[in-house]
Chains A and B, each alone.
Chain A
Amino acid sequence: MSSAPMQLDAAEQALLDSLRAGDEAAYETLVRDFGGPMLAVTRRMLGNEDDARDALQDAFLSAFKAIDRFQGGSKLSTWLHRIAVNASLMKLRTKRRRSERSIEAMLPQYDESGHRVRDNDTWPTDGAIALQRQETRQQVRDAIDELPESYRTVLLLRDIEELNTKETADMLDVSESVVKTRLHRARLALRNLLAETFGTQAE
């Protein structure tokens, strides 16, 4: 049986050996050394501090259980990133809203001649909308959260976590063409939702 080449450096290998030997201190080291970037992932995916912390805990419990099966075919941080994304997806599914607006209602509309109905088309597109302000950040986050879950998930994985199309498809157990279609529609819908907030009517 062939196995992937080892991607671990000496420190990661030593930590892994300690974890597998049941060294209690090694578990704390794993959480402290690798937990920060994982918490950043769950925060990005969930947009809510309590949920992000719950998902991080779930992620580490999964990682502790799976540590014996980790083959070293990727860096430890890459493996843990994927586990954190998965824990976030699980959390998102348990929080699925009872009623969602249809994505269709968020997409561009066309008139009888096939022209797009103009909306708030004119808005600053040179980075002028400052996201330093907490209020503005929250408005953008609210728009992301308004997307139906199956579309929001693809947008988060592709545009925020920067997974590629295949990685996203594998993680969601859908085809690559489904990922592409959902990403396109999610981006269109997000653009329209943001235009409602930040755009002005074109002259």
Chain B
Amino acid sequence: MNCRECLDFLSDYRNGELPDEQRAVFETHLSKCPPCRDFLDSYCESIRMAKDCCCPDPDGPVPDKVPDALVNAILKARDASRDS
């Protein structure tokens, strides 16, 4: 396995979906190739960062409540859609 082929397996490896045999080959390559290890680390880290950045901002609006104005807008839009 070369580095390019190694990259093709990253997603399935990260998802835990790589068959045992391919995983063994993949891990052998990783053990000998620091650049690919670095790449895997940063690949996994970027997925974590994407997830974290989409979680509610602690300083942002209250996450589990619909603002009153929006509740009213939704109910008003329902009335309008029934009238049309």
CA distance A118 to B35 in the complex (A): 8
Give the residue of B3, B4, B56, B66 whose beta carbon is less than 8 angstroms from that of A31: B66
Asked if B42 and A53 make an inter-chain contact with CB atoms under 8 angstroms apart, the answer reads no
Asked if A131 and B71 make an inter-chain contact with CB atoms under 8 angstroms apart, the answer reads no
Contacts known (A36-B66, A122-B38); A131 close to B52, Cβ less than 8 A: yes
Chain A nearest CB from B48 CB (Å) reads 7
Chain A nearest CB from B78 CB (Å) reads 6
Give the residue of A65, A122, A125 whose beta carbon is less than 8 angstroms from that of B44: A125
Say whether A108 faces chain B, with CB atoms less than 8 Å apart.
yes
Contacts known (A36-B65, A110-B4); A137 close to B78, Cβ less than 8 A: no
Say whether B25 faces chain A, with CB atoms less than 8 Å apart.
no
Asked if A160 and B54 make an inter-chain contact with CB atoms under 8 angstroms apart, the answer reads yes
Chain B nearest CB from A90 CB (Å) reads 15
Chain A nearest CB from B2 CB (Å) reads 6
Say whether B57 faces chain A, with CB atoms less than 8 Å apart.
yes
Chain B's interface: helix, strand, loop or mixed, by majority?
A: helix
CA distance A37 to B57 in the complex (A): 14
Give the residue of B46, B55, B61, B64 whose beta carbon is less than 8 angstroms from that of A187: B46
Chain B nearest CB from A59 CB (Å) reads 9
Asked if A31 and B50 make an inter-chain contact with CB atoms under 8 angstroms apart, the answer reads no
Contacting residues of chain A (164-184) with chain B, CB-CB under 8 angstroms: 180, 183-184
Chain A nearest CB from B30 CB (Å) reads 14
Asked if B63 and A40 make an inter-chain contact with CB atoms under 8 angstroms apart, the answer reads yes
Closest to B55 in A: A44
Say whether A146 faces chain B, with CB atoms less than 8 Å apart.
no
14 contacting pairs across A/B (C-beta < 8 A): A40-B56, A40-B63, A44-B54, A57-B74, A60-B77, A108-B39, A114-B4, A121-B39, A125-B45, A129-B45, A136-B53, A140-B52, A187-B46, A188-B7
Partner-A contacts on B (CB < 8 A): 2-4, 7-8, 10-12, 14, 35, 38-39, 41-59, 61, 63-66, 70-71, 73-75, 77-78, 81
Partner-B contacts on A (CB < 8 A): 27-28, 31-32, 35-37, 39-40, 43-44, 47, 49, 53, 56-57, 60-61, 64-65, 108, 110, 114-116, 118, 121-125, 127, 129, 131-132, 134, 136-137, 140-141, 144, 155-156, 159-160, 180, 183-184, 187-188, 190-191, 194-195, 199, 202
